[in-house]
Structure 1
Amino acid sequence: MSEDKSNKHGFPELERRPNPPGWVQPKAPYNPYDPTDLRPAEGYPSEYNAPSVMKKNTGKIARDLTDYQKIKIDMKKLQYYPRPPSELYPGRYKVLRKVNHKSGFNRGADLTAKVSIYTVLIFGVFFYKWNDHDNIFSPFRRLQLRIKEFIIGDLSMDDYNDLYYYKADKPIPQKPLPSIMYEKNAENQLVGETATNNEFIKDRFGNKHVVYAEHIKQKEDENMIQAMEIAQRQLELNKLNEVKNDTKKPFWKIW
């Protein structure tokens, strides 16, 4: 009874035929994409190996030069890198020299861009005062002021107040809501006395409230100006009356 010989993949093992007479071990694998690399008529021994797992490129060479996926797989397997043959040394390849394409101008431009970016970042984080409120960059600026005070020993009045007498809970002024948004919040019952009792809802004022407040302020200013004008007229009248009283002749004078 014959013994069934099979490999680990389940395929029957095939007996490899002997090399033909005169066969010489090739120096490199056969490259199907190199027109100067001629395949021996008797073939390579690797062509008679037992079939194994299906290769990624299905074992077929690329039919078109645009089939880059198959060409890339085959080139990687063959470890073939297209290099021009040497004209001085037959059978060898030219050694390609690495050319530095970065000129002095490009290096200077890269260095200038990096220095500018880091300078702006450091200045904006540690030195620039964005506003009078406690923002995300305030701790870094106070650290810079502490180092400056330690090195120099003195700070200006504004820097000293920013370092030691800053108000962390100073409220940030709110911008008024557009009228459409405010009316929509009013429809959704997000404004008013009962709604604003919720700590998660803040009753922001709208543009119409700003206009109304400016109108009231303008009225108050106009009333104040009118009152000042009336008071000034009264003072002028009082002065005129005093002058008339001073210039009036006594009744006993006949001349």
Structure 2
Amino acid sequence: MIRLQVLKKHGPGLIAFAVGVVLVWMATPRTYSAYNALPAAFVSFQLTMDRPVRDADLARALTGLKAASAAGVDQANIYGQLSQFMLLDVFRTPNDHQEEQLAAARDATVLALRHRPLDAYLWTRYTHLTYLLEGFSPYTIAALDKSFRYGTYERELLVFRLKLSLSEWESLPTSLREHAREQIRFSAQHAYVCGQILSYLDDQAAKRFISFLAETPADIELIQRASNALKRQRAS
């Protein structure tokens, strides 16, 4: 069963991910797919530019991508964006069918992974969706491991991985703890990134993060200020 408190805590982590704009203009058999994917291209651009997305635009993008998926072309991009927007839709329009929506988004992610088995963004989204549906299950752990291995330092991925790892530290296998500690050392060079991570953590996970950062040259005071500023921004 979906854990609503987890949904609230870790939901925003992947919303801004764009797996590429779907514009397919080449052969005639692709025209239908490209036409239906146009609304998704607009929504992807808005997300990439960190601009707000209207509910109506998101609904059109989902409708277009579902129609485009039936054309049987460019499946990696189509299903990758479909899973992204389905996940976004769960957080935008809460309802009594969130578990079914998340499961459908995960199914779309699996279809995209069949075409892109080394895509760290897709593995991170699969981690996210499985965590929301199952908690920190063996499937979540296996997907998180692939996310670590296939995409090391991308900022969006790093933020989500470390949020999840620090929150579930006691259940984290040793190998993933080593991955997380290595990425904490890397992120210590970037106060805003650390502040972003810190702003999402509960008290216990935040203390753990600060203790790890204390072993690095990180400016902890600056990181805490960045975290507080982000919390105020989200609350306003």
Shared fold per TM-score greater than 0.5:
no
TM-score range, shorter chain: under 0.3
The two structures have a TM-score, normalised by structure 1, of 0.16
Higher relative contact order, structure no. (Cα contacts within 8 Å, ≥ 6 residues apart): 2
